[in-house]
Structure 1
Amino acid sequence: MNQEVGQEKTQGPEEVAWRVPGRVEVLGKHTDYAGGPVLVGAVDRAITAHARRARGPQSSLTATTDGGDPITLRAGVDPALEPGHWGHYLQTVLDRLTLNFGAGAAAHVSVSSDLPPASGMSSSSALVCATALALASLNGWDRDPRWIEAMPDRLPLAGYLAAVEGGRSWRDLPGTSGVGTHGGSEDHTGMLCGAQDRLLLAGFDPMRIDQSLPFPSQWALVIGVSGVLAHKTGAALEDYNRGPSTVQSVLARWNRATGRADASLAGAVRHLVGDATGEQMAKDPALRDLLGLCEPGYERERIEQFLIESLVLVPAGARLIAAADPGIGEVLERSQALADRGLRNQVPQTRLMASLARGMGAIGASSFGAGWGGSVYALVPADDAKDFASRWLQAYRDREQEAERAATIVTRPGPGACRLL
C-alpha cells in the first residue's frame, strides 16, 4: 500500500511534450570531454518528443518519427535494430531512466523535427534530451527526490543527460552502456541552458557556465549544411572516439608520471599554468612536461590543438564576439586550421564551405560539431544574411557535385529546451 501511495504521488500527466533545440558550437572544438572551455548556443531548429500514456507492460514504449515506421522497445531488451537507427537512442534513454528511477508507465512517443539529421547541430543529443525529458515528466520522475538531488537545476541536468548518452554514471545514479560515443557535455549544456541572443562560455572541470555573452544584434549566424552526413557508426564511430581515447591515454600517463589524480586534461593544464589564458600561456615552458608524454604524430598534434583552442582561441573569441569585433575572423580561421591538422576530422566539403564563406566576405567562418561531415557556420551582417545564405549555397553547389542534401539556415542563438504540454 505504501509503495502504491508513493507511486501515485510521483505520477505525471497523461501526455507531455518537450522541445529541445540543436546547438551551434562557435568555438571549443573537441575540448569539452577534456574538461576545457567552449562557446556554444542553442539554435532555432529543434526536436520535439510528445509522450502519452499507453496500454502495455511497464517500461515499454512504442515510438514513431516523421514518416518513419513505428518501433517497439522494452527496458533491458535488445531492440535488434540496424546500426545507427534512431531507436537505439530511445532504447538508451529507456534503459537508463528505468535503472535510475524504477519501472515507468507504458508510453507512446512521437518524435518530430526540423533539425537536419547528422548535420553537426547534434540532432542525436537533442533526441536523447527530448525523449528523456518527456518520459521523466510523464512518469513524475522529475519530481522524485533522487532526481531533484542529482539535478537541482538545468546545468547538472545537462550533465546527467550527457551521461545518459555516454553511458557514464552521474553522481549516485549508475550508468548503462550509452549510445557508443565517448563525448562530453557541451551539446546538452547548449540545449538545456541556451538563452535568446546569448552564447554560453562554459567549462567542464568542474562543469560550469562562466559567462553568458550577448551575440551582436548586427550579426547573424548562417549555417551551411554540407550534405555529408556525420555518421557515428562503424569506422566513423572509431574516428570520433579516437579523440577522447587519446585524451584519456595522455591524462592517464600524466597522472602516473606525476602521482596526481587530475580528472581531466584541463585539470593537468591548470596545475601547470594556473587559470591564466592567452598566447603566452599556450607557449609556457611548463607545458613541456605534459607534451613530453605525448607520442609524436597524431597524439602530440591532438594535445597541441586542445591547448591552443582552450587557452587562446575560446577566450579570445568570447571577448571579440561580445565586442562585435571583426577580428573574430582570424580566430575562427585558426580554429578551422587546427581542426584539420590536429583533430584530422575535416572533409573536403567542410573545407570548401568555410573557404567559400570567407571569400564571399563573411566576418568569419568555421566548421563545428564532431566532424567527418556536418556543417559550417558563417558570421555575417544581419541585413545581408538571407542573400548571403542563398549565394553561399549556390556557390557550394556549383563546386560540389554531391550537394543535393546541402542547405543553409539563417539563425541566431535561441532559448534552450522547453516543455510544451
Structure 2
Amino acid sequence: MMRSWRWLPCEVSHRDTENTESLQLRSAQQKTDMTTIANLKRSIGLKQHYVGLCQNPEQIAGKIVLMRKVLNTFAASFNAQDRREVHVHFVPGRVEFLGKHTDYAGGHSIVMAVDRGFFAISARNGTNAVRMAECDNDSGVFPSAAFGVSPRLEHAPGDWTNYPKTMVQRIALNFARSAKLEGVDIAFGCDLPVGGGMSGSSALMIMTYLALAGANHLQDSKKYQRNIRDGLDLATYLACCENGQTFRELTGHKGVGTFGGSEDHTEILNGKRGMLSVFQFCPTVHKADLAWRDNCALAICYSGVRAEKTRAAMADYNQASERARLVVAAYNRQYTTNDSLMREIIDENPARGLPHLLDRVAFATRKSLTEDDLPGRFRQFYVEDREIIPKTAAAWIRADCCSLGRLVDLSHRNSKKYLRNIVPEIHFLQRSARRLGALASSGFGAGFGGSVYALMQKDGAADFLRQWKETYTGKFPQPAAESEFLLTTPAGCAQEMFVDGMVHP
C-alpha cells in the first residue's frame, strides 16, 4: 500500500517547456501587456492568435466568432475608440481528473485546464465603477451589471454578480490603501457550459481579478510583492478571496459563501498545455506533470443538470467540507491533538494503515449524527489521496489502462457512497461510458450535477461521443435536451492574448 508520495524523476515530464511560466510571473515582468481597439479589430480573425488555446480548425473558428462577439459587445457597451488601450484575457475551465474534495483537507489532485473558458476585453474607465457586459446578454445568464470598487461593496449568494463583486470587494479591502484603484469596463463571453462543474465560477472570479489588477498594475504594489511571490501564491490568494479566508497580510472577508479549496485556481493559473498536473494543497506544492498521451482524447458530457453553488445548492456543496472539519474537530477532542486537516491525522500515524485509522476516527466520532457518516468521509479522503491518486499516476506512466480504469471507477463509487454528491444522471453517464468502451470515466467537480469525463483512444472518439449521447438521451431525455458533449485535451493556463500581435503560449 502506498502511504506516502515518493515521486521518481522519470515521473516528472518536461514536455511543452515553453509553457512552464505562470501568468503571474509574466504579468510581473510585462507591465504593458496591452493592445488597442484598432489593433484588435485588425488581428482578431487571424488563426495564429488562437493556436495556443486549441489546435482543431473547427474549434479555432468557433473561438474567433466568440471573440468577435466580445469585441462587438465592448464597442456597443463602452467607449471603443480605436486608440483605447485594452487587455484581452482567456481564462480556462478545468477538469478534475482525480481529487474529489481533497484539496481543502490537505490532499492531492490530478487536474487539467481545458480549451474552453472565458474571453474578456477590459480597460480602465476613469471612474470608481466596474462595468460588465456579456456578449450573449439576451440569454439572461449574465445580465449587464455595474458596481463600485469599494471595501464596503455588498454582495450575497443568489446572483451571478456575487462572484465578481466578491473579488472586487476583496481587492479593494486588501489594496485600496496601497494602490489607487480605478474602475474597469469588462466585456466577456464564455464557451463553458454554465453549471457544468468545470470551475466556471472560479474562472469568472479570476477573469475579474485579471481585468482589475492588470488595469491598476496591482503587481507593482509593495504589499502585493510581499505576499504574492509566484503563481501558486496568487492561486491561493484568489481561492481565499472566494472562500473568505485571510492570506498572509491580506485580510479575509465573507467570500462567496462556499467553503472550498484552491484546486481550481491553482490549475487555472498554473496548468500546462499537454499535461495533467499533480498538486498537493494546504500549502500548495507542485508534485508532478504527467504528459498527455497523443493517442488519447477526453470526452466530456455536461449532463444538463446544473452543478450550482447558489441558494439551496450551497448547503449541499458545503456539506463535504463541513464533514471534513467535524472529523478533525472530533479527533482533536478525543486524542488531545491539534490537527487542522485530515491529512495531518494520517501523517502523524505514518506506520498505521487505513483500518487502524478508521477505528480511531470511528471512536472519536461515535457521538456524531449517524447521517453525517464521518468515518465514511475520512475513508473517502484516505483512499482517494493515499491509494487512488498515486496508483493512478503510476498506471498513467506505465500506460496500464486496466489499472487506470479500475482506480477511476473506485474513485467515482466512493464519491457516490461517501460524499453522496453523485446524482442519477451523472452515475448513468459514467457507467454507460465504461460500457461503451471508455478506458476510464468519472463524474468530477463539486458534484450534485455537472459533468462526466470519459478517457478513450483518439481513433473512434467521434463515434463514441455519438453513441454516448444517444444512450443518455434515451434514458434521461429532459436533462439531455440541455446537455453538451465535447472533446478536449489539456490546455494551458490563463493567458493574456493579442500582446504584440500574438498569444502568449
**What is the TM-score when the length of structure 1 is the normalising length?**
0.91
- 1:253 to 2:330 alignment: yes
For 2:494, give the aligned amino acid.
Answer: A
Offset at residue 255 of structure 1 (A): 2.5
- 1:148 to 2:225 alignment: yes
Distance in 2, Cα, partners of 1:263 & 1:128: 27
Which moved further from structure 2: 334-343 or 69-78?
A: 69-78
Distance in 2, Cα, partners of 1:164 & 1:78: 14
Number of equivalenced pairs: 403
Offset at residue 310 of structure 1 (A): 0.9
Aligned partner of 2:146 in structure 1 is 72
Distance in 2, Cα, partners of 1:408 & 1:12: 35
Distance in 2, Cα, partners of 1:150 & 1:388: 47
Distance in 2, Cα, partners of 1:391 & 1:98: 50
Distance in 2, Cα, partners of 1:159 & 1:49: 22
* Conserved 8 A contact 1:23-1:40: yes
Offset at residue 77 of structure 1 (A): 5.3
* Conserved 8 A contact 1:368-1:376: yes
Distance in 2, Cα, partners of 1:166 & 1:18: 24
1:379-407 superposed Cα distances (whole Å, 9 cap, x missing partner)? 10012222211221122112112111111
Indicate how the Cα distance of structure 1 residues 48 and 155 shifts in structure 2: closer, same or farther if over 3 A, else same.
same
Aligned partner of 2:424 in structure 1 is 348
Indicate how the Cα distance of structure 1 residues 287 and 400 shifts in structure 2: closer, same or farther if over 3 A, else same.
closer
> Which of residues 200, 206, 216 is equivalent to 2:283?
206
* Conserved 8 A contact 1:42-1:413: yes
* Conserved 8 A contact 1:205-1:266: no
- 1:301 to 2:376 alignment: yes
* Conserved 8 A contact 2:136-2:189: no
* Conserved 8 A contact 2:155-2:166: no
Aligned partner of 1:15 in structure 2 is 86
Offset at residue 258 of structure 1 (A): 3.1
Distance in 2, Cα, partners of 1:163 & 1:48: 23
Distance in 2, Cα, partners of 1:77 & 1:112: 28
* Conserved 8 A contact 1:21-1:43: yes
Offset at residue 256 of structure 1 (A): 3.1
> Which of residues 442, 449, 459 is equivalent to 1:383?
459
Aligned partner of 1:35 in structure 2 is 106
Distance in 2, Cα, partners of 1:170 & 1:76: 16
**What is the TM-score when the length of structure 2 is the normalising length?**
0.76
For 2:436, give the aligned amino acid.
Answer: M
- 1:397 to 2:469 alignment: no
Offset at residue 287 of structure 1 (A): 4.6
* Conserved 8 A contact 1:282-1:311: no
Written as runs of structure 1 = structure 2, the 5 A alignment for 1:80-159 is 83-102=157-176, 103-159=180-236
For 1:93, give the aligned amino acid.
Answer: M
Distance in 2, Cα, partners of 1:377 & 1:384: 16
Q: Secondary structure at the match of 2:485?
A: strand
Written as runs of structure 1 = structure 2, the 5 A alignment for 1:34-53 is 34-53=105-124
Aligned partner of 1:418 in structure 2 is 495
- 1:407 to 2:484 alignment: yes
Indicate how the Cα distance of structure 1 residues 79 and 176 shifts in structure 2: closer, same or farther if over 3 A, else same.
closer
Distance in 1, Cα, partners of 2:214 & 2:484: 34
Distance in 1, Cα, partners of 2:86 & 2:465: 39
For 1:192, give the aligned amino acid.
Answer: L
Aligned partner of 2:42 in structure 1 is none
For 2:457, give the aligned amino acid.
Answer: P
Q: Secondary structure at the match of 1:272?
A: coil
Aligned partner of 1:336 in structure 2 is 412
Q: Which structure 1 segments of 5+ residues have no match? A: 1-9, 275-279
Distance in 1, Cα, partners of 2:316 & 2:496: 35
Indicate how the Cα distance of structure 1 residues 11 and 145 shifts in structure 2: closer, same or farther if over 3 A, else same.
farther
For 1:46, give the aligned amino acid.
Answer: G
Q: Secondary structure at the match of 2:463?
A: helix
Distance in 1, Cα, partners of 2:184 & 2:94: 28
1:358-391 superposed Cα distances (whole Å, 9 cap, x missing partner)? 0101101100001110000001001222221122
Aligned partner of 1:4 in structure 2 is none
* Conserved 8 A contact 1:63-1:109: yes
Aligned partner of 2:354 in structure 1 is 282
Offset at residue 145 of structure 1 (A): 2.2
Indicate how the Cα distance of structure 1 residues 334 and 286 shifts in structure 2: closer, same or farther if over 3 A, else same.
closer
Distance in 2, Cα, partners of 1:156 & 1:222: 31
Indicate how the Cα distance of structure 1 residues 307 and 356 shifts in structure 2: closer, same or farther if over 3 A, else same.
same
- 1:317 to 2:392 alignment: yes
Offset at residue 319 of structure 1 (A): 1.3
Distance in 1, Cα, partners of 2:495 & 2:288: 21
Q: Which structure 2 segments of 5+ residues have no match? A: 1-30, 35-84, 138-142, 500-505
Offset at residue 67 of structure 1 (A): 2.2
Distance in 2, Cα, partners of 1:88 & 1:286: 40
For 1:225, give the aligned amino acid.
Answer: Y
1:92-140 superposed Cα distances (whole Å, 9 cap, x missing partner)? 0110111111151121112211111110101001111111122111100
* Conserved 8 A contact 2:243-2:257: yes
- 1:185 to 2:262 alignment: yes
1:188-221 superposed Cα distances (whole Å, 9 cap, x missing partner)? 1111111111111111133111111112221111
Runs of 4+ in 1 over 6 A off after TM superposition: 10-13
Distance in 2, Cα, partners of 1:282 & 1:193: 32
> Which of residues 136, 158, 161 is equivalent to 2:238?
161
Written as runs of structure 1 = structure 2, the 5 A alignment for 1:168-247 is 168-247=245-324
Which moved further from structure 2: 61-70 or 152-161?
A: 61-70
Identity %: 34
